[in-house]
Structures are given as structure tokens and as C-alpha cells.
């Protein structure tokens, strides 16, 4: 008897981050290695990325960003708990630390998320296929509740829940990556309830994060569990294509932005390791 049908979704994050990365993402999509993208509407190349998405009919969601670059909402024009004195978001770890300390005003999170949804519609002329969080900010305590309420109010049905089985045992991950992955997994499990109560569906029951340093140290298959394909539903693999750093704020300081693989190499690895001929 045939097993349950499973759709493998490979989403390229950070679309609009910069032209070089966008080039890699489009190459990967045209090669069949990527099936959708998540757009950073505050990225330096957001407008050109949106044009590429329309030209090549790429399914596009919003990669909601509260940690890098500048805001697009009301916070851009005044003081905000989301920003440094220089007017940039607080950074990947800075935002997490501020959330943990209770220093983030959640109504300001809502304002920025709603502004990014509006900007997405302006750029794409339609609704996002999904909304997830840049650097998984959407699963942080308190923030996830704001995301759930706002996405439901805007008719968004799908998000990403990065609940990764066995991530704590991935000893081959470098220490910063391992600690971050474990924290994200813990937050994601706690966020399942709020998202479910507001009718949000995860893009998968278990999600694999394709970190940029995988290509330098191990085959992506070391993180790929073929057993997932025995379960009904979607399996979503987020990935990063291309190589560059955003020229805003402290974007280049995050460990995963220091040695991103070249687009051709990453595309080939995705093709060889994940995409089987039909």
C-alpha cells in the first residue's frame, strides 16, 4: 500500500538581502532546488527582488525582520524599543536579550509587523504565501503571540515552526550555531500553542534548518532525516543562497553571515543531496 504523500518545500530565506544573494536564489529556483522564497521587505534589494519574484513567478512569503537593518514602520521616525540609538534594529542576539529582559514593547512589534505586511503588498501586489521570522524572531516568548494575532487578522494561514528533532545531539555544529539552534527549538515548541490557537498552520511538523556552514563541513544529508517523508503534510527546509552581507547595522556580525557558500556550489549541493529525479 502506498504511503502518505508528502510535499517537500525548500524555502530560500533572505530574498532581498542583496543582489548577489538574490541571484543565487533565482538560480536555485530555476534549477528546481528551491520552491519558494521569503522576502525581507527592508532589505537593500527588496524592490529588485520583488521584480524577480514577479518575473519568474516565484511563490513568495514575508520574512519578517525585527533584528537587522532599519524598520519600515513608525519606529523609523522616532525612538523605539526595537532600535539602537543609531536607528538600527538591535541585532540577532541583541533583540533576543532585549525580549528576555522585558525591554521590548510588544505593541511596537505589532506596528512593525503590520508595516512590513503593507510593504510586502506594495512590492508584490498581493498577499504573502506565508510569514516567518528572520532569524526565527517569530517564535520568541511574547513575540509569538503578537505574530499569531497579527497574522490571523491579516488572513495569513501559514508560518514556520522550527521544531527540530534531535538538534541537541548535533555535536558537529559549531558551538554558537549549536546553542542558537537549541534555543530556537525550545522557543518553537513553546510557540506551537499560540500559533495553533489562532489557526496558524506550520509549513511542516518538523523543520530542518540548512545552516550556511553545512556546505563547508558536512553534507546536508547529515541533517536530513528521510524518515520525515513517511509522515503526511509538508516538510519545509529553509536555506540561504548566494554570498554577501547586508550593509545595514551589525548584519555582518552574526556567525552565519561570515562564510556563506557561493550560489553555484549551494545550488549544486541542494540538487545533489535533496532533489531526486521524478
**Cα separation, 233 vs 59, whole angstroms:** 18
What's the confidence (pLDDT) of residue 171?
82
DSSP conformation class of 45: T
Q: Is residue 152 scored above 60 in pLDDT?
A: yes
Domain residue extents for the chain = 6-66+104-273
What's the confidence (pLDDT) of residue 169?
85
pLDDT tens, 109-141?
A: 999 999 999 999 999 999 999 999 999 999 999
Q: Is residue 85 scored above 60 in pLDDT?
A: yes
**What's the average model confidence in pLDDT over 49-54?**
98
Alpha helix (H) residue ranges in the chain: 19-30, 46-55, 92-100, 106-124, 143-153, 175-197, 214-217, 263-273
Q: Is residue 257 scored above 90 in pLDDT?
A: no
What's the confidence (pLDDT) of residue 234?
47
The residues with which 11 forms a beta bridge, in sequence order, are 36, 238
Please give the positions annotated as active site: 13
Percent of the chain residues past pLDDT 90, beyond the cut: 59
Q: How many CB atoms lie within 10 A of CB 150?
A: 21
**Cα separation, 262 vs 198, whole angstroms:** 39
**What's the average model confidence in pLDDT over 25-47?**
95
Judge whether 132 and 184 are in contact, CB under 8 Å: no
Which residues are CB-neighbours of 80 under 8 A, at least 6 positions away?
71, 74, 105, 108
**Structural domain 6-66+104-273, CATH architecture:** Alpha-Beta Barrel (3.20)
Residue 108 grid coordinates = 511596537
**What's the average model confidence in pLDDT over 223-246?**
44
Q: Is residue 58 scored above 90 in pLDDT?
A: yes
Judge whether 173 and 181 are in contact, CB under 8 Å: yes
Q: Is residue 151 scored above 80 in pLDDT?
A: yes
What's the confidence (pLDDT) of residue 23?
95
Comparing CA positions, the residue from 206, 223, 234, 228 lying closest to residue 270 is 223
**Cα separation, 161 vs 164, whole angstroms:** 9
Query: Rounded mean pLDDT of the chain?
Result: 78
Comparing CA positions, the residue from 68, 67, 61 lying closest to residue 18 is 68
Residue 196 grid coordinates = 495553533
What's the confidence (pLDDT) of residue 223?
41
Judge whether 274 and 266 are in contact, CB under 8 Å: no
**Cα separation, 147 vs 62, whole angstroms:** 12
Q: Is residue 242 scored above 50 in pLDDT?
A: no
Query: Strands 201-202 and 158-159, how do they pair?
Result: parallel
**Cα separation, 160 vs 192, whole angstroms:** 10
Amino acid at each position: 500500500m502506498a504511503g502518505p504523500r508528502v510535499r517537500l518545500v525548500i524555502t530560500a530565506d533572505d530574498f532581498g538581502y542583496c543582489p548577489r544573494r538574490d541571484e543565487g536564489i533565482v538560480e536555485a529556483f530555476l534549477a528546481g532546488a528551491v520552491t519558494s522564497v521569503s522576502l525581507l521587505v527592508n532589505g537593500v534589494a527588496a524592490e529588485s527582488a520583488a521584480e524577480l519574484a514577479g518575473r519568474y513567478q516565484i511563490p513568495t512569503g514575508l520574512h519578517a525582520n525585527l533584528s537587522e537593518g532599519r524598520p519600515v514602520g513608525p519606529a523609523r521616525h522616532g525612538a523605539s524599543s526595537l532600535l539602537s540609538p543609531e536607528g538600527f534594529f538591535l541585532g540577532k542576539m541583541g533583540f533576543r536579550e532585549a525580549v528576555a529582559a522585558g525591554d521590548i514593547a510588544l505593541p511596537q512589534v505589532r506596528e512593525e509587523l503590520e508595516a512590513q505586511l503593507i510593504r510586502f503588498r506594495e512590492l508584490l501586489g498581493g498577499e504573502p504565501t506565508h510569514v516567518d521570522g528572520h532569524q526565527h524572531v517569530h517564535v520568541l516568548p511574547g513575540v509569538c503571540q503578537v505574530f499569531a494575532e497579527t497574522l490571523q487578522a491579516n488572513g495569513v494561514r501559514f508560518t514556520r515552526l522550527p521544531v527540530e528533532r534531535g538538534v541537541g545531539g548535533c555535536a558537529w555544529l559549531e558551538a554558537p550555531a549549536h546553542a542558537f539552534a537549541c534555543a530556537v527549538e525550545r522557543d518553537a515548541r513553546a510557540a506551537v500553542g499560540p500559533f495553533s490557537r489562532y489557526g496558524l498552520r506550520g509549513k511542516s511538523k518538523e523543520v530542518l534548518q540548512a545552516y550556511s556552514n553545512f556546505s563547508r563541513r558536512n553534507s546536508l544529508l547529515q541533517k536530513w532525516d528521510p524518515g520525515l517523508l513517511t509522515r503526511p503534510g509538508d516538510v519545509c527546509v529553509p536555506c540561504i543562497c548566494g554570498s554577501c552581507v547586508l550593509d545595514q547595522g551589525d548584519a555582518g556580525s552574526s556567525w552565519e553571515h561570515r562564510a556563506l557558500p557561493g550560489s553555484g556550489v549551494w545550488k549544486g549541493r541542494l540538487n545533489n543531496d535533496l532533489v531526486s529525479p521524478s
